[in-house]
Amino acid sequence: MTEAVVENVDILIVGAGPVGMTLHLALAAGGRKSLLLDRRPQQAQQGDPRALALSHGARQLLEQIDSWPTRAATPIETIHVSQKDGFGRTLIDRAEYDLPALGYVVRYRDLAGALAANVAADAVLSEAEIIDIAPGDQQVTVTLRHAGHTRTFQTQLLVHAEGTPGDDPTVKVSDYEQHAVICEVTPMPGHNKRAWERFTPDGPLALLPLGNEYSIVFTLPPAKADAVMALDDDAFIAALQEQFGQRMSFAKPGKRSRFPLALRLRDTLIKDREVWIGNSAQTLHPVSGQGFNLGIRDAWQLAETVLKYGVDRSSLENYAAGRRLDRQGGAFFTDKIVRTFSNDFGPLKLARGLGLLALDLCPPARHFVAKRMIWGARAWP
């Protein structure tokens, strides 16, 4: 009987989404090889309907690996934060931070396309299905099916970047009982590069400038999301207008998609020679657009750690310790915002209004929040 051939790869990355590809390119920039594998065909990402608000910090990292999708990115110059049927509002303006923009809005597919353009064809196995993962002290053995063949790889480091985890006892799940209905609409008059975050008892409503359109993230309890998905275009615009108010009107809604929302937080980021990054490490509510911004920092910090200290146990432990504040801060921030703002409880509504007013009137408090949105953990304490 002939023995199966075992192929050696330095680093194996499961999931060629934006986070996996960022890690691959950051490692390559430092001269370290890795192999990406994805269960879907590469062009599948071109069908993803999401638009992502990326921070100024994320842009700087993507520029370092020549993957900033310049022409596809719409700058955000101001962010207006308010609550439905309540007082208080805050305006965050890029002019206060000496930056070209507070952040940028990019379609998932354009971001994935910009990254994929820099990944060599032989560095990614698409439509690969993992059959088995055998962990070990010094290496991990991964068996998979690809193009009709069973292949076995041995790697010093297995990185999980496969996105939102399914059922797994090491992942804590906290369901928000909210779904995000997303679509693009045309604002009238134009958006003037302003993003809106509007809190309603049903959940947050975000409007992100994208080209000439707004990309809408309309968060609702599941039954209301069913109803909104079923509306015709005119009724959908009326429902959107009802949540947003009359400051602006909307037309020409595009195709709608929906995503159920839950916080999924992995207990531990490392196990022997396996590490979890991006959504596979933490999947957050999309409020304030933290998910990919956190994931790209995971990828970057892991690449820096590997390039400087290698892939042994202590360097992976350093990586996990270094990510603690950023990921827990991101999860805490989004979770508290969603739970504090998604209700109609009178005293909380009053406190929220006072909070928004205080942020608006007190520049240091506003800068504190804005800088964390622009830079993430780099802005702590």
- Give the residue, chosen from 83, 155, 279, 301, that forms a contact with ligand FAD under the rule CB under 6 A: 279
Cβ proximity of 55 and 293 under 8 Å: yes
Stretch that binds ligand FAD, among 222-230, 244-252, 292-300, 355-363 (CB under 6 A): 292-300
Closer by beta carbon to ligand FAD, 183 or else 356: 183
Please name the helix (run of DSSP H) or strand (run of DSSP E) that holds residue 363, with its range, or none.
helix 363-375
Sorted by sequence, the CB contacts under 8 Å of residue 139 that are 6+ apart come out as 154, 155, 156, 273
- Give the residue, chosen from 11, 12, 13, 18, that forms a contact with ligand FAD under the rule CB under 6 A: 18
293 binds ligand FAD (CB under 6 A): yes
3-state SS record for 35-84: EEECCCCHHHHHHCCCEEEEEHHHHHHHHHCCCCCHHHCEEECEEEEEEC
286 binds ligand FAD (CB under 6 A): yes
Site string for ligand FAD, 329-368 (x = CB under 6 A): ----------------------------------------
Task: State both tokens at 304.
Answer: 């820096």
CB of 215 to ligand FAD, least distance (A): 8
- Give the residue, chosen from 13, 26, 52, 140, that forms a contact with ligand FAD under the rule CB under 6 A: 52
Q: How far is CA 331 from the centre of its chain?
A: 12
145 binds ligand FAD (CB under 6 A): no
- C-alpha span between 159 and 150 (Å, rounded): 20
CB of 47 to ligand FAD, least distance (A): 11
Residues touching ligand FAD, count (CB under 6 A): 31
163 binds ligand FAD (CB under 6 A): yes
Closer by beta carbon to ligand FAD, 88 or else 165: 165
105: helix, strand or coil:
strand
| Among 126, 118, 222, 121, residue whose Cα is nearest residue 180 | 222
Closer by beta carbon to ligand FAD, 41 or else 363: 41
CA dihedral 78, 197, 193, 68 (to 10 degrees): 100
Stretch that binds ligand FAD, among 10-18, 189-197, 223-231, 241-249 (CB under 6 A): 10-18
Site string for ligand FAD, 165-194 (x = CB under 6 A): ---------------x-x------------
14 binds ligand FAD (CB under 6 A): yes
69 binds ligand FAD (CB under 6 A): no
217 binds ligand FAD (CB under 6 A): yes
| Among 107, 104, 112, residue whose Cα is nearest residue 22 | 112
- C-alpha span between 166 and 283 (Å, rounded): 11
- C-alpha span between 65 and 221 (Å, rounded): 39
Distances (CA, A) of 291 to 147, 178, 277, 288, 333: 32, 17, 11, 9, 12
Closer by beta carbon to ligand FAD, 211 or else 353: 211
CB of 332 to ligand FAD, least distance (A): 16
Residues that bind ligand FAD (CB under 6 A): 14-20, 37-40, 50, 52-53, 130, 161-163, 180, 182, 217, 259, 278-279, 286, 289-293, 295
